[in-house]
Amino acid sequence: MTSGSAVDRTLRKQRNKEYPIQLWYFLACFIFLVGAKQGTLDSESHIIPSSSSVNLRRLPSAILNTYRIVALRWTIRINLGTVYTLNVAEIAITCAYIIAIFTWSFINTTALTGQKFNLQYWNNRAGTIAASQLPLVTALSSKNNVITFITGIGYDKLNYAHRMTSRVLFVLIWAHVGGELVRTIDAEDLASVWLRCGLMGAIALTALVLVSLRPVRAKAYELFFWVHFVTVLLFLVGAYFHAREFDFQSYVWPCFVIWGFDRLVRGLRVLLFTITSPSTSIQGADVEKHHIPSMAASVKLEMITSTIVRLTVPRPRLFHWSAGQSVFLTVPGVSKFTHEAHPFTIASIEDHDNMAPVKQTNELVFFINVQSGFTQRLAAHASRTTTNGNSSLTSKVYVDGPYGSAPDLRGFDTCVLVAGGSGVSFTLALLLDVIRNAAKNASAVQRVVFVWAVRDIRNVALIKPALIKALESQTQPQALKIDIRIHLTGSNGPSEESIEKSASSSSTSVEKPTPQGQLDLEALTGFAEVSLYDGRPDIAAIMTEEVQVTRNGRMGVAVCGSDSMVQSSRSALGLGTAGMKAVLKGGASVSLFIEGFAYA
């Protein structure tokens, strides 16, 4: 019996060391496979001219489109008070990770005596497997990480995987804790540092999981932010001293290295940008650039409406970005804490060759939806400056970025850009980029449709300067056809009912505009490319129409709006419109890009 126990102990220790390594081999192969697949999905074979009959030469494109629809556009909605939407790819990855984690944790746990799922076999192994995954969880939360480098997937898209892996490990860690509680723990163990640190880590992780639930994040994001920081620190410190007792601390200390590297890169980037930022003095609409290095740039705040603030930041000379990317902004005069940073999408584009169709090409422009916390304080600052008769506010701002994997629309024949409210930050930048590339003959895009659903007519002021500049640049017939549709959703009029492009349009049932809002509308509707509509856009009709127009070609769709808008876009681009049968018969090959819209 003693011999059997000794052999059991040897097997347990051996598997505790080998199985986490085997699991990491599996995960590494999966990550590299995703990276390789991203490369193949970004490039499609040449589109074969179509006819009404099935063309098997289009089979690769048809298979790719069907995969996109099934994996990325089919979703499951779970209503737990808060609606959670998961696509098939996210569900598949979650299931695969859960299966992998619990397979390596509970496989080969039969003792030599024949007892299955022997507690001594799986209890410590569960803790070891959980510890081995901590570097992965930390990397998935980092803005600068090797997974993004390998796969090309931005940190914002990896955030789902970060939350998912964290919650799976939460279950595994409590399985480990439960096993420890079931077995007999003597007084010496209870007094030991390693056991107390382990319990501290488990309790801290539990608090973190509760605070990270979406309802809490959405209603108290800043509370979540700081509780997250404190509880993660407590958890990792506790995990390190607990794992050190069993010589597994090598799985924990890399988390501090990963976190430190990310903070170092971000800090150096912010320092570089602020040192090279022009010192800017803003008085009203006049901007005087001295080009003197300073530790921060000046910002301009404009209160467009009670729910929208436009923030303008002079671009640091070494800062470069692509349309659709985002940055983290820190405004010490507004933030409660010095290092408090918040993500915002850049609504302007970079002027590489003096050809950017924007009013002030040397600026970063942001459209900020006013919520609670930081954005509410920012709006209060903007409101005070407006009340004082000066729409500008000189303040410091620190820029960290850019982040996010911006969609490259140059290879598409048709681009459809759909946004709701402040989501226009994302689609406006893409529109300006499409127009600029067309002017440089650096794009295959022949048609771009820009759809914006906005409740308050005064918000048109957000996009007016950039759109007027872009449309005025079209002084001669261009190969690019531009169709801009602004939907005023503050009314109860039927969708797609066009509003007359004259002063009489203000007599519709939309919320009564301010005089300045009416002037902004008239300035835009003077262009033939711009149309106004009363009511919400019919997403399905728009997508179906554009797919028909783009037969034999490629169509790129970018959406940033409410959950209902995103779901409508996914449904409209399903199997019937862009599936295998449609593509085999010459239908458009469609790529859908969705940008997150939620505040938290």
pLDDT by residue, tens only, the chain of 600 residues = 455 588 888 898 899 999 999 999 999 999 999 888 765 554 443 344 444 566 677 788 889 889 999 999 999 988 877 778 899 999 999 999 999 999 999 999 888 888 888 888 899 999 999 999 999 999 999 999 999 999 888 888 899 999 999 999 999 999 999 988 887 677 777 788 999 999 999 999 999 999 999 888 888 888 888 899 999 999 999 999 999 999 999 999 999 999 999 999 999 999 988 887 765 433 333 333 333 333 344 678 888 888 899 998 888 888 999 999 999 998 887 877 777 888 999 999 987 655 555 444 578 999 999 888 888 888 888 887 666 655 555 567 889 989 988 899 999 999 999 999 999 999 999 999 999 998 888 889 999 999 999 988 888 888 888 888 888 877 555 688 999 999 998 754 333 444 444 333 433 444 544 456 666 666 776 788 888 898 999 999 999 999 999 988 999 999 999 989 999 999 999 998 888 888 888 888 999 999 876 543
pTM value is: 0.85
Give the count of alpha carbons within 13 A of 159, CB side only: 11
**Bridge partners, 262 (sequence order):** none
- Cβ atoms of 124 and 14 within 8 Å: the answer is no
Q: Which CATH architecture has domain 298-352+362-403?
A: Beta Barrel (2.40)
Single-letter amino acid code for the residue at 586 = G
Tell me which fold the domain 7-37+87-267 belongs to: Four Helix Bundle (Hemerythrin (Met), subunit A) (1.20.120)
50: helix, strand or coil: coil
Listed by start position, the domains of the chain span: 7-37+87-267, 298-352+362-403, 414-490+518-595
What CATH number should be reported for the domain whose range is 414-490+518-595?
Answer: 3.40.50.80
- Give the gyration radius of the chain's Cα atoms: 27
375 token code pair:
């954005």
Query: 479-483 long-range contacts, Cβ below 8 Å, gap at least 24?
Result: 479/438, 479/446, 480/434, 480/435, 480/438, 480/443, 480/445, 480/446, 480/447, 480/448, 481/446, 481/447, 481/448, 482/435, 482/448, 482/450, 482/529, 483/447, 483/448, 483/449, 483/450, 483/529, 483/531
Q: Rounded distance, CA 246 to CA 126, Å? A: 13
Q: For residue 445, give every residue at least 6 positions away whose Cβ sits within 8 Å of its Cβ, in sequence order, or none.
A: 409, 410, 412, 413, 414, 415, 434, 437, 438, 480
Backbone angles phi, psi at 123, to 5 degrees: -60, -60
